[in-house]
Amino acid sequence: MGSADRWPDLTGKSWANKTSGEMTDSEVDDARASFEAVGRRDYEGEWLSRHGLPYGD
């Protein structure tokens, strides 16, 4: 099973039904950590952007 097959437990997550634009900085931090814990990089770009860091090229 590759990391793309893994999904974090979203039970009780305030951000679970929001788009990244609707999420607070704290929710983006939590989302990034939740996905990172299962080997995924979801929310990485949003997290970097909110911290003023480049993503990609």
Decide if 3 is inside a domain.
no
Decide if 37 is inside a domain.
yes
Structure tokens at 9: 């437990």
Q: pTM for this one? A: 0.82
Decide if 39 is inside a domain.
yes
What was the pLDDT predicted at 17?
96
What was the pLDDT predicted at 57?
59
CA distances from 11 to 2, 14, 21, 55 (A): 22, 9, 20, 29
Decide if 30 is inside a domain.
yes
Number of folded domains that form the chain: 1
Decide if 9 is inside a domain.
no
**Domain membership of residue 34 as a residue range:** 22-52
What was the pLDDT predicted at 43?
93
Decide if 7 is inside a domain.
no
pLDDT tens column, 3-57: 567 899 999 999 999 999 999 999 999 999 999 999 999 999 999 999 999 887 5
